Copies of this chain bind each other. A is one copy, B any other.
Amino acid sequence: MQYITGLLNIDKSLQVPVYLQIANGIICHIRQGTLKPASALPSSRALALGLKVHRNTVVAAYDELYAQSWVDVYPQKGIFIAANLPELSPRPIAESPQKLVYPNKTYFDVGDNKLSHINLQKQSTGHIIAFNEGYPDTRLAPVELMLREYRRFANYHFTSKYLLYGPEQGSENLRTELARFLGETRGLHVTPEHILITKGAQMAIYLAAQLLLNKNDTVIAADPGYCGANETFVQTGANLELVPVDEFGISLDAVEEICKKKKVKLLYVIPHHHQPTTVTLCSERRMRLLELAMKYRFAIIEDDYDYDFHYSSSPILPLASADYYGSVIYIGSFCKTIAPGIRIGFMVAPPNLISQATKMRRIIDRQGEHLLEEAMANLLKNGDITRHLKKANKLYHERRDILCNLLTRQMGEHVEFKIPDGGFAIWMKYLNGIKPKDVAEKAASMGLAVSAGQDYYYDHSRESEHIRIGFASMNFTEMEQATHILAKALKKLV
Protein backbone atom coordinates (compact mmCIF):
# COMPACT_ATOMS: atom_id res chain seq x y z
CA MET A 1 0.00 0.00 0.00
CA GLN A 2 2.69 2.41 1.11
CA TYR A 3 4.37 1.37 -2.10
CA ILE A 4 1.53 2.55 -4.37
CA THR A 5 1.03 5.81 -2.48
CA GLY A 6 4.66 6.58 -3.11
CA LEU A 7 4.28 5.99 -6.83
CA LEU A 8 1.53 8.53 -7.31
CA ASN A 9 2.09 12.28 -7.48
CA ILE A 10 -1.04 14.27 -6.88
CA ASP A 11 -0.97 17.94 -7.77
CA LYS A 12 -4.22 19.71 -6.97
CA SER A 13 -3.15 22.86 -8.80
CA LEU A 14 -3.33 21.08 -12.15
CA GLN A 15 -6.34 21.32 -14.46
CA VAL A 16 -6.56 17.51 -14.67
CA PRO A 17 -9.01 16.27 -12.01
CA VAL A 18 -7.36 14.44 -9.11
CA TYR A 19 -9.22 11.19 -9.78
CA LEU A 20 -7.80 11.15 -13.32
CA GLN A 21 -4.32 11.89 -11.99
CA ILE A 22 -4.65 8.82 -9.77
CA ALA A 23 -6.06 6.63 -12.56
CA ASN A 24 -3.48 7.81 -15.09
CA GLY A 25 -0.67 7.33 -12.56
CA ILE A 26 -1.72 3.73 -11.97
CA ILE A 27 -2.06 3.08 -15.73
CA CYS A 28 1.40 4.52 -16.23
CA HIS A 29 2.90 2.13 -13.66
CA ILE A 30 1.00 -0.85 -15.09
CA ARG A 31 2.46 -0.01 -18.51
CA GLN A 32 5.96 0.35 -17.09
CA GLY A 33 5.60 -2.96 -15.31
CA THR A 34 5.95 -1.52 -11.78
CA LEU A 35 2.44 -2.79 -11.07
CA LYS A 36 2.01 -6.40 -12.20
CA PRO A 37 -1.05 -8.02 -13.80
CA ALA A 38 -3.38 -9.76 -11.32
CA SER A 39 -1.82 -8.05 -8.30
CA ALA A 40 -4.14 -6.55 -5.69
CA LEU A 41 -4.76 -2.82 -5.28
CA PRO A 42 -5.39 -1.26 -1.87
CA SER A 43 -8.97 -0.58 -0.80
CA SER A 44 -10.31 2.82 -1.74
CA ARG A 45 -10.41 3.80 1.93
CA ALA A 46 -6.77 2.88 2.50
CA LEU A 47 -5.53 4.57 -0.65
CA ALA A 48 -7.57 7.70 0.12
CA LEU A 49 -5.93 7.88 3.55
CA GLY A 50 -2.49 7.36 2.08
CA LEU A 51 -2.96 10.02 -0.59
CA LYS A 52 -4.83 12.41 1.72
CA VAL A 53 -7.77 12.73 -0.69
CA HIS A 54 -11.47 12.08 -0.25
CA ARG A 55 -12.44 8.44 -0.53
CA ASN A 56 -14.91 9.25 -3.35
CA THR A 57 -11.97 10.52 -5.40
CA VAL A 58 -10.29 7.11 -5.23
CA VAL A 59 -13.62 5.41 -5.97
CA ALA A 60 -13.91 7.57 -9.11
CA ALA A 61 -10.34 6.68 -10.09
CA TYR A 62 -11.08 2.95 -9.66
CA ASP A 63 -14.32 3.33 -11.66
CA GLU A 64 -12.29 4.93 -14.41
CA LEU A 65 -9.75 2.09 -14.34
CA TYR A 66 -12.57 -0.46 -14.44
CA ALA A 67 -14.30 1.28 -17.34
CA GLN A 68 -11.03 1.21 -19.24
CA SER A 69 -10.53 -2.50 -18.37
CA TRP A 70 -7.30 -1.95 -16.43
CA VAL A 71 -8.66 -3.60 -13.29
CA ASP A 72 -10.96 -6.48 -12.36
CA VAL A 73 -13.34 -6.23 -9.41
CA TYR A 74 -14.17 -9.34 -7.39
CA PRO A 75 -16.96 -8.86 -4.84
CA GLN A 76 -15.83 -9.79 -1.30
CA LYS A 77 -12.22 -10.01 -2.48
CA GLY A 78 -11.28 -6.60 -3.72
CA ILE A 79 -9.84 -4.87 -6.74
CA PHE A 80 -7.02 -6.33 -8.82
CA ILE A 81 -4.97 -5.22 -11.77
CA ALA A 82 -6.41 -7.04 -14.79
CA ALA A 83 -4.82 -10.39 -15.63
CA ASN A 84 -5.26 -9.63 -19.34
CA LEU A 85 -4.23 -6.08 -19.94
CA PRO A 86 -6.26 -4.04 -22.41
CA GLU A 87 -3.27 -2.41 -24.08
CA LEU A 88 -3.61 -2.11 -27.80
CA SER A 89 -0.93 -4.04 -29.61
CA PRO A 90 -1.96 -4.31 -33.23
CA ARG A 91 -0.57 -7.08 -35.37
CA PRO A 92 1.75 -5.73 -38.06
CA ILE A 93 1.26 -6.83 -41.66
CA ALA A 94 4.89 -6.03 -42.46
CA GLU A 95 7.92 -4.59 -40.72
CA SER A 96 6.76 -1.42 -39.07
CA PRO A 97 8.63 1.45 -40.70
CA GLN A 98 10.65 3.79 -38.54
CA LYS A 99 10.47 6.63 -41.04
CA LEU A 100 7.58 8.38 -42.70
CA VAL A 101 5.35 5.93 -44.52
CA TYR A 102 4.41 8.02 -47.51
CA PRO A 103 6.70 9.25 -50.25
CA ASN A 104 6.14 12.72 -51.64
CA LYS A 105 4.65 11.46 -54.86
CA THR A 106 2.22 8.72 -55.73
CA TYR A 107 3.29 6.58 -58.64
CA PHE A 108 -0.22 6.71 -60.12
CA ASP A 109 -1.54 9.78 -61.90
CA VAL A 110 -3.33 12.27 -59.65
CA GLY A 111 -4.52 14.33 -62.61
CA ASP A 112 -4.11 17.89 -61.37
CA ASN A 113 -4.82 19.85 -64.55
CA LYS A 114 -8.42 20.67 -63.71
CA LEU A 115 -7.40 22.14 -60.37
CA SER A 116 -4.21 24.00 -61.22
CA HIS A 117 -5.94 27.40 -61.25
CA ILE A 118 -7.00 27.15 -57.61
CA ASN A 119 -5.02 29.07 -55.00
CA LEU A 120 -5.17 27.97 -51.40
CA GLN A 121 -5.32 30.42 -48.52
CA LYS A 122 -1.99 31.97 -47.68
CA GLN A 123 -0.68 32.22 -44.17
CA SER A 124 -0.98 35.72 -42.77
CA THR A 125 2.39 37.42 -42.53
CA GLY A 126 2.36 39.21 -39.23
CA HIS A 127 1.40 42.75 -40.16
CA ILE A 128 0.45 45.16 -37.41
CA ILE A 129 -2.94 45.81 -38.95
CA ALA A 130 -4.83 44.88 -42.12
CA PHE A 131 -7.48 46.15 -44.48
CA ASN A 132 -9.20 42.92 -45.50
CA GLU A 133 -11.32 42.33 -48.60
CA GLY A 134 -14.54 42.79 -46.67
CA TYR A 135 -15.23 40.44 -43.78
CA PRO A 136 -17.75 40.79 -40.97
CA ASP A 137 -16.44 41.58 -37.49
CA THR A 138 -16.13 38.25 -35.72
CA ARG A 139 -16.09 40.16 -32.43
CA LEU A 140 -19.81 40.73 -33.01
CA ALA A 141 -20.47 37.06 -33.81
CA PRO A 142 -23.34 35.89 -31.58
CA VAL A 143 -21.24 33.09 -30.14
CA GLU A 144 -23.00 33.38 -26.78
CA LEU A 145 -26.37 32.79 -28.44
CA MET A 146 -25.04 29.75 -30.29
CA LEU A 147 -23.57 28.40 -27.07
CA ARG A 148 -26.92 28.88 -25.34
CA GLU A 149 -28.43 26.59 -27.97
CA TYR A 150 -25.56 24.12 -27.75
CA ARG A 151 -25.94 23.89 -23.98
CA ARG A 152 -29.40 22.51 -24.55
CA PHE A 153 -27.76 19.63 -26.43
CA ALA A 154 -26.28 18.37 -23.20
CA ASN A 155 -29.76 17.09 -22.51
CA TYR A 156 -29.87 13.63 -24.01
CA HIS A 157 -33.56 13.48 -24.83
CA PHE A 158 -33.23 16.54 -26.97
CA THR A 159 -30.00 15.57 -28.63
CA SER A 160 -29.94 11.87 -29.38
CA LYS A 161 -31.95 12.10 -32.55
CA TYR A 162 -29.65 14.78 -33.95
CA LEU A 163 -26.55 12.70 -33.24
CA LEU A 164 -27.52 9.88 -35.61
CA TYR A 165 -27.72 10.09 -39.37
CA GLY A 166 -30.25 12.69 -40.43
CA PRO A 167 -32.00 13.95 -43.55
CA GLU A 168 -29.58 14.81 -46.34
CA GLN A 169 -31.64 17.87 -47.27
CA GLY A 170 -30.94 19.45 -43.88
CA SER A 171 -32.87 19.95 -40.65
CA GLU A 172 -36.63 20.12 -41.19
CA ASN A 173 -36.87 22.77 -38.45
CA LEU A 174 -34.27 24.94 -40.11
CA ARG A 175 -35.88 24.64 -43.53
CA THR A 176 -39.24 25.59 -42.02
CA GLU A 177 -37.85 28.65 -40.22
CA LEU A 178 -35.81 29.63 -43.25
CA ALA A 179 -38.86 29.49 -45.55
CA ARG A 180 -40.59 31.92 -43.17
CA PHE A 181 -37.50 34.16 -42.91
CA LEU A 182 -37.08 34.27 -46.70
CA GLY A 183 -40.75 35.15 -47.11
CA GLU A 184 -40.58 37.98 -44.57
CA THR A 185 -37.30 39.50 -45.69
CA ARG A 186 -37.23 38.71 -49.41
CA GLY A 187 -40.79 38.15 -50.59
CA LEU A 188 -39.76 34.60 -51.51
CA HIS A 189 -42.84 32.42 -51.09
CA VAL A 190 -41.41 28.92 -50.74
CA THR A 191 -41.90 25.80 -48.64
CA PRO A 192 -39.26 23.66 -46.88
CA GLU A 193 -39.17 21.31 -49.88
CA HIS A 194 -37.74 24.13 -52.01
CA ILE A 195 -34.74 24.43 -49.69
CA LEU A 196 -31.49 22.51 -49.34
CA ILE A 197 -29.20 23.41 -46.43
CA THR A 198 -25.54 23.54 -47.52
CA LYS A 199 -22.10 24.26 -46.07
CA GLY A 200 -22.02 27.94 -46.95
CA ALA A 201 -22.91 29.47 -50.30
CA GLN A 202 -19.87 27.75 -51.83
CA MET A 203 -21.35 24.26 -51.59
CA ALA A 204 -24.58 25.50 -53.15
CA ILE A 205 -22.61 26.92 -56.11
CA TYR A 206 -20.68 23.63 -56.39
CA LEU A 207 -23.86 21.53 -56.39
CA ALA A 208 -25.56 23.70 -59.00
CA ALA A 209 -22.46 23.57 -61.21
CA GLN A 210 -22.19 19.78 -60.87
CA LEU A 211 -25.86 19.29 -61.77
CA LEU A 212 -26.10 21.73 -64.65
CA LEU A 213 -22.71 21.86 -66.34
CA ASN A 214 -20.95 19.28 -68.45
CA LYS A 215 -17.72 19.50 -70.36
CA ASN A 216 -17.78 22.29 -73.01
CA ASP A 217 -21.08 23.77 -71.80
CA THR A 218 -21.19 27.57 -71.70
CA VAL A 219 -21.56 29.49 -68.45
CA ILE A 220 -21.63 33.31 -68.14
CA ALA A 221 -20.11 35.28 -65.27
CA ALA A 222 -19.03 38.88 -64.77
CA ASP A 223 -15.46 40.17 -64.99
CA PRO A 224 -14.23 41.43 -62.60
CA GLY A 225 -16.05 38.83 -60.55
CA TYR A 226 -15.97 36.25 -57.80
CA CYS A 227 -13.10 33.81 -58.37
CA GLY A 228 -14.57 31.21 -55.96
CA ALA A 229 -17.48 30.72 -58.36
CA ASN A 230 -15.35 30.85 -61.51
CA GLU A 231 -13.04 28.11 -60.17
CA THR A 232 -16.05 25.91 -59.55
CA PHE A 233 -17.42 26.36 -63.07
CA VAL A 234 -14.08 25.79 -64.77
CA GLN A 235 -13.49 22.59 -62.80
CA THR A 236 -16.53 20.97 -64.45
CA GLY A 237 -14.86 21.43 -67.85
CA ALA A 238 -17.36 24.10 -68.90
CA ASN A 239 -16.36 27.20 -70.86
CA LEU A 240 -16.57 30.48 -69.00
CA GLU A 241 -17.84 33.49 -70.97
CA LEU A 242 -17.12 36.81 -69.29
CA VAL A 243 -19.27 39.94 -69.47
CA PRO A 244 -18.38 43.42 -68.15
CA VAL A 245 -20.04 45.04 -65.17
CA ASP A 246 -20.89 48.75 -64.78
CA GLU A 247 -22.54 50.86 -62.09
CA PHE A 248 -25.91 49.13 -62.60
CA GLY A 249 -24.56 45.57 -62.58
CA ILE A 250 -23.61 43.09 -65.30
CA SER A 251 -24.06 44.12 -68.92
CA LEU A 252 -27.12 42.37 -70.35
CA ASP A 253 -26.31 43.54 -73.85
CA ALA A 254 -23.14 41.48 -73.59
CA VAL A 255 -25.15 38.54 -72.21
CA GLU A 256 -27.60 38.68 -75.12
CA GLU A 257 -24.73 38.86 -77.62
CA ILE A 258 -23.39 35.58 -76.28
CA CYS A 259 -26.84 33.95 -76.22
CA LYS A 260 -27.31 34.80 -79.88
CA LYS A 261 -24.09 33.04 -80.78
CA LYS A 262 -24.17 29.91 -78.65
CA LYS A 263 -26.28 27.81 -76.30
CA VAL A 264 -25.83 29.14 -72.76
CA LYS A 265 -26.55 26.71 -69.91
CA LEU A 266 -26.00 28.87 -66.87
CA LEU A 267 -25.45 32.48 -65.77
CA TYR A 268 -23.96 33.48 -62.42
CA VAL A 269 -24.87 36.81 -60.87
CA ILE A 270 -24.39 38.56 -57.50
CA PRO A 271 -27.31 41.01 -57.46
CA HIS A 272 -26.44 42.83 -54.24
CA HIS A 273 -22.98 44.34 -53.92
CA HIS A 274 -21.30 42.55 -56.78
CA GLN A 275 -18.01 41.00 -55.80
CA PRO A 276 -15.65 42.90 -56.15
CA THR A 277 -17.19 46.17 -57.41
CA THR A 278 -20.05 46.41 -54.81
CA VAL A 279 -22.69 47.57 -57.34
CA THR A 280 -26.34 46.49 -57.03
CA LEU A 281 -28.11 45.08 -60.08
CA CYS A 282 -30.88 47.59 -60.88
CA SER A 283 -34.57 46.66 -61.20
CA GLU A 284 -34.72 47.16 -64.95
CA ARG A 285 -31.82 44.79 -65.56
CA ARG A 286 -33.36 42.25 -63.19
CA MET A 287 -36.54 42.13 -65.25
CA ARG A 288 -34.61 41.91 -68.50
CA LEU A 289 -32.36 39.14 -67.14
CA LEU A 290 -35.42 37.03 -66.28
CA GLU A 291 -36.77 37.61 -69.77
CA LEU A 292 -33.46 36.60 -71.34
CA ALA A 293 -33.36 33.43 -69.23
CA MET A 294 -36.85 32.59 -70.44
CA LYS A 295 -36.08 33.39 -74.06
CA TYR A 296 -32.74 31.57 -74.28
CA ARG A 297 -33.57 28.93 -71.67
CA PHE A 298 -30.64 29.20 -69.37
CA ALA A 299 -30.54 28.79 -65.59
CA ILE A 300 -29.50 31.65 -63.29
CA ILE A 301 -27.51 31.22 -60.11
CA GLU A 302 -28.52 34.22 -58.01
CA ASP A 303 -25.85 34.45 -55.30
CA ASP A 304 -27.50 36.89 -52.88
CA TYR A 305 -25.24 36.24 -49.89
CA ASP A 306 -25.10 39.99 -49.15
CA TYR A 307 -28.85 40.73 -49.16
CA ASP A 308 -29.10 41.16 -45.38
CA PHE A 309 -26.46 43.90 -45.30
CA HIS A 310 -27.83 46.94 -47.09
CA TYR A 311 -27.51 50.45 -45.65
CA SER A 312 -28.19 53.30 -48.05
CA SER A 313 -31.69 52.48 -49.23
CA SER A 314 -33.90 49.41 -49.30
CA PRO A 315 -32.55 46.24 -50.89
CA ILE A 316 -34.26 45.02 -54.06
CA LEU A 317 -36.25 41.80 -53.87
CA PRO A 318 -34.43 38.80 -55.38
CA LEU A 319 -34.83 37.72 -58.98
CA ALA A 320 -36.13 34.48 -57.52
CA SER A 321 -39.12 36.29 -55.95
CA ALA A 322 -40.40 37.14 -59.45
CA ASP A 323 -39.46 33.90 -61.17
CA TYR A 324 -42.47 31.91 -62.36
CA TYR A 325 -40.43 29.83 -64.78
CA GLY A 326 -38.21 28.10 -62.28
CA SER A 327 -35.07 29.43 -63.94
CA VAL A 328 -33.48 30.92 -60.82
CA ILE A 329 -31.43 28.98 -58.28
CA TYR A 330 -31.33 31.28 -55.25
CA ILE A 331 -28.28 30.96 -53.01
CA GLY A 332 -27.70 32.55 -49.64
CA SER A 333 -25.60 32.16 -46.54
CA PHE A 334 -25.38 32.85 -42.84
CA CYS A 335 -21.59 32.90 -42.99
CA LYS A 336 -21.61 36.70 -42.88
CA THR A 337 -24.43 36.82 -40.33
CA ILE A 338 -22.77 34.60 -37.74
CA ALA A 339 -19.16 34.29 -38.92
CA PRO A 340 -17.33 32.99 -42.01
CA GLY A 341 -16.09 30.02 -39.97
CA ILE A 342 -19.64 28.90 -39.16
CA ARG A 343 -20.62 27.31 -42.45
CA ILE A 344 -24.34 27.43 -43.08
CA GLY A 345 -25.77 28.30 -46.46
CA PHE A 346 -28.77 27.33 -48.53
CA MET A 347 -30.06 26.76 -52.03
CA VAL A 348 -33.66 27.56 -52.99
CA ALA A 349 -34.95 26.07 -56.25
CA PRO A 350 -37.79 24.05 -57.78
CA PRO A 351 -38.30 20.69 -56.03
CA ASN A 352 -36.97 18.60 -58.92
CA LEU A 353 -33.65 20.44 -58.80
CA ILE A 354 -33.50 20.33 -54.98
CA SER A 355 -34.10 16.59 -55.05
CA GLN A 356 -31.16 16.06 -57.44
CA ALA A 357 -28.96 18.42 -55.44
CA THR A 358 -29.83 16.49 -52.27
CA LYS A 359 -28.74 13.20 -53.86
CA MET A 360 -25.52 14.84 -54.99
CA ARG A 361 -24.95 16.17 -51.50
CA ARG A 362 -25.43 12.69 -50.08
CA ILE A 363 -22.48 11.34 -52.01
CA ILE A 364 -20.31 14.35 -51.19
CA ASP A 365 -20.54 14.36 -47.41
CA ARG A 366 -23.78 12.60 -46.49
CA GLN A 367 -25.36 15.48 -44.52
CA GLY A 368 -24.73 18.74 -42.69
CA GLU A 369 -24.07 19.42 -39.01
CA HIS A 370 -27.47 18.77 -37.53
CA LEU A 371 -26.67 20.22 -34.14
CA LEU A 372 -25.57 23.47 -35.76
CA GLU A 373 -28.62 23.43 -38.03
CA GLU A 374 -30.95 22.95 -35.07
CA ALA A 375 -29.22 25.78 -33.19
CA MET A 376 -29.65 28.01 -36.24
CA ALA A 377 -33.33 27.05 -36.52
CA ASN A 378 -33.90 28.17 -32.94
CA LEU A 379 -32.01 31.43 -33.40
CA LEU A 380 -34.17 32.21 -36.44
CA LYS A 381 -37.36 31.17 -34.68
CA ASN A 382 -36.97 33.29 -31.59
CA GLY A 383 -35.87 36.36 -33.53
CA ASP A 384 -32.22 36.37 -32.42
CA ILE A 385 -30.95 36.44 -36.00
CA THR A 386 -33.20 39.37 -36.92
CA ARG A 387 -32.09 41.28 -33.82
CA HIS A 388 -28.44 40.52 -34.52
CA LEU A 389 -28.81 41.64 -38.15
CA LYS A 390 -30.32 44.96 -37.08
CA LYS A 391 -27.50 45.65 -34.67
CA ALA A 392 -24.79 44.60 -37.11
CA ASN A 393 -26.33 46.63 -39.94
CA LYS A 394 -26.40 49.73 -37.79
CA LEU A 395 -22.78 49.32 -36.76
CA TYR A 396 -21.50 48.46 -40.26
CA HIS A 397 -23.44 51.43 -41.64
CA GLU A 398 -21.62 53.71 -39.20
CA ARG A 399 -18.28 52.11 -39.98
CA ARG A 400 -18.82 52.53 -43.72
CA ASP A 401 -19.42 56.25 -43.23
CA ILE A 402 -16.45 56.65 -40.91
CA LEU A 403 -14.04 54.92 -43.29
CA CYS A 404 -15.34 56.88 -46.29
CA ASN A 405 -14.75 60.11 -44.35
CA LEU A 406 -11.27 59.07 -43.28
CA LEU A 407 -10.29 58.09 -46.82
CA THR A 408 -11.59 61.35 -48.29
CA ARG A 409 -9.96 63.49 -45.64
CA GLN A 410 -6.58 61.76 -45.59
CA MET A 411 -6.04 60.76 -49.22
CA GLY A 412 -8.88 62.31 -51.20
CA GLU A 413 -6.58 63.62 -53.90
CA HIS A 414 -5.16 60.15 -54.66
CA VAL A 415 -8.26 57.94 -54.54
CA GLU A 416 -11.78 57.79 -55.90
CA PHE A 417 -14.72 55.66 -54.77
CA LYS A 418 -18.51 55.58 -54.58
CA ILE A 419 -20.06 54.98 -51.18
CA PRO A 420 -21.32 51.40 -51.40
CA ASP A 421 -25.03 50.70 -50.78
CA GLY A 422 -24.22 47.80 -48.53
CA GLY A 423 -21.87 44.90 -47.94
CA PHE A 424 -18.51 44.98 -46.23
CA ALA A 425 -16.09 46.80 -48.50
CA ILE A 426 -15.39 49.89 -50.58
CA TRP A 427 -14.23 49.54 -54.23
CA MET A 428 -11.55 52.19 -54.38
CA LYS A 429 -9.56 53.43 -57.37
CA TYR A 430 -6.04 54.87 -57.07
CA LEU A 431 -5.58 58.00 -59.15
CA ASN A 432 -2.51 59.50 -60.81
CA GLY A 433 -1.31 56.16 -62.13
CA ILE A 434 -0.58 54.74 -58.69
CA LYS A 435 -0.45 50.94 -58.87
CA PRO A 436 -2.16 48.81 -56.19
CA LYS A 437 0.83 46.46 -56.17
CA ASP A 438 3.21 49.29 -55.31
CA VAL A 439 0.91 50.60 -52.59
CA ALA A 440 0.55 47.12 -51.09
CA GLU A 441 4.30 46.69 -51.05
CA LYS A 442 5.01 50.08 -49.49
CA ALA A 443 2.21 49.69 -46.92
CA ALA A 444 3.41 46.19 -45.99
CA SER A 445 6.84 47.62 -45.21
CA MET A 446 5.08 49.99 -42.83
CA GLY A 447 3.07 47.23 -41.14
CA LEU A 448 -0.24 47.46 -43.03
CA ALA A 449 -1.66 44.63 -45.13
CA VAL A 450 -3.79 45.92 -48.00
CA SER A 451 -4.96 44.38 -51.29
CA ALA A 452 -2.53 44.43 -54.21
CA GLY A 453 -5.45 44.28 -56.62
CA GLN A 454 -5.09 40.59 -57.44
CA ASP A 455 -7.75 37.95 -58.13
CA TYR A 456 -10.43 40.45 -59.18
CA TYR A 457 -10.12 39.67 -62.88
CA TYR A 458 -10.34 36.21 -64.38
CA ASP A 459 -7.08 36.92 -66.17
CA HIS A 460 -4.89 36.93 -63.09
CA SER A 461 -2.11 38.77 -64.88
CA ARG A 462 -4.39 41.77 -65.48
CA GLU A 463 -3.55 44.65 -63.16
CA SER A 464 -6.53 46.22 -61.43
CA GLU A 465 -6.74 49.99 -60.90
CA HIS A 466 -9.12 49.33 -58.01
CA ILE A 467 -8.83 47.48 -54.74
CA ARG A 468 -11.35 46.37 -52.14
CA ILE A 469 -11.05 47.91 -48.70
CA GLY A 470 -13.12 46.25 -45.99
CA PHE A 471 -14.69 48.46 -43.33
CA ALA A 472 -17.01 46.13 -41.42
CA SER A 473 -14.50 44.29 -39.26
CA MET A 474 -12.64 47.33 -37.90
CA ASN A 475 -13.48 49.68 -35.07
CA PHE A 476 -12.78 53.40 -35.21
CA THR A 477 -9.27 53.20 -33.74
CA GLU A 478 -8.27 50.44 -36.11
CA MET A 479 -9.64 52.28 -39.14
CA GLU A 480 -7.82 55.44 -38.10
CA GLN A 481 -4.54 53.62 -37.63
CA ALA A 482 -4.82 51.73 -40.94
CA THR A 483 -5.88 54.82 -42.90
CA HIS A 484 -3.02 56.77 -41.42
CA ILE A 485 -0.45 54.22 -42.64
CA LEU A 486 -2.11 53.95 -46.05
CA ALA A 487 -2.02 57.74 -46.49
CA LYS A 488 1.68 57.84 -45.56
CA ALA A 489 2.43 55.01 -48.00
CA LEU A 490 0.61 56.87 -50.80
CA LYS A 491 2.52 60.08 -50.10
CA LYS A 492 5.81 58.24 -50.47
CA LEU A 493 4.74 56.91 -53.86
CA VAL A 494 3.54 60.17 -55.43
A interface with B by C-beta (< 8 Å):
16, 24, 64, 67-69, 86, 88-108, 110-112, 115, 118, 120-121, 135, 138-139, 141, 143-144, 147, 150-151, 153-154, 156, 159-160, 162-169, 185-191, 194, 198-200, 202-203, 206, 211-212, 214, 228, 231-232, 235, 265, 283, 286-287, 290, 297-299, 313-317, 319-327, 339-343, 348-353, 356, 358-360, 362-372, 382-383, 387, 390-391, 393-394
Contacts and interface: CB of A to CB of B under 8 A. Distances in A.
Given A97-B187, A101-B189, A108-B299, 9 more contacts: A24-B383, A91-B317, A102-B348, A120-B358, A120-B359, A138-B160, A138-B163, A162-B341, A343-B369
A334 B198 CA distance: 21
A350 B164 contact: no
Contacts of A371: 341-342
17 contacts: A88-B314, A91-B283, A102-B323, A108-B265, A108-B297, A115-B359, A121-B168, A143-B156, A144-B154, A147-B150, A162-B341, A163-B342, A165-B340, A203-B365, A235-B360, A341-B371, A343-B369
Contacts of A144: 154
Contacts of A322: 92-97, 101
A363 B364 CA distance: 12
Contacts of A202: 363-366
Nearest to A23: B387
B321 A67 contact: no
B365 A317 contact: no
Contact of A68 (B108, B156, B390): B390
A165 B341 contact: yes
Highest count of chain B CB atoms <10 Å: which of A166, A339, A341: A341
Contacts of A112: 352, 356
Given A153-B147, A316-B90, A358-B120, A101 B321 contact: yes
A194 B102 contact: yes
B187 A164 contact: no
A323 B190 contact: no
A367 B370 CA distance: 17
Nearest to A147: B154
Contacts of A232: 363
B367 A343 contact: yes
B191 A100 contact: yes
Contact of A365 (B90, B199, B287, B382): B199
A328 B390 CA distance: 51
Given A69-B394, A287-B94, A322-B94, A363 B101 contact: no
A86 B391 CA distance: 11
Contacts of A390: 67-69, 86
Given A164-B341, A340-B163, A340-B164, A350 B153 contact: no
A321 B96 contact: yes
A89 B120 contact: no
A199 to B, nearest CB: 4
Contact of A366 (B98, B200, B352, B391): B200
Contacts of A86: 390, 394
A321 B93 contact: yes
Highest count of chain B CB atoms <10 Å: which of A64, A88, A97, A188: A88
A126 to B, nearest CB: 13
B135 A164 contact: yes
A475 to B, nearest CB: 13
Given A90-B187, A104-B350, A191-B100, A166 B341 contact: yes
A315 to B, nearest CB: 5
Given A99-B189, A360-B115, A352 B90 contact: no
Given A165-B121, A365-B203, A189 B100 contact: yes
A90 B160 contact: no
A187 B96 contact: yes
A449 to B, nearest CB: 14
Nearest to A70: B390
Contacts of A343: 365-369
The 10 closest A-B pairs by CB, nearest first: A163-B339, A94-B322, A199-B365, A138-B163, A68-B390, A203-B365, A106-B326, A118-B359, A163-B341, A93-B286
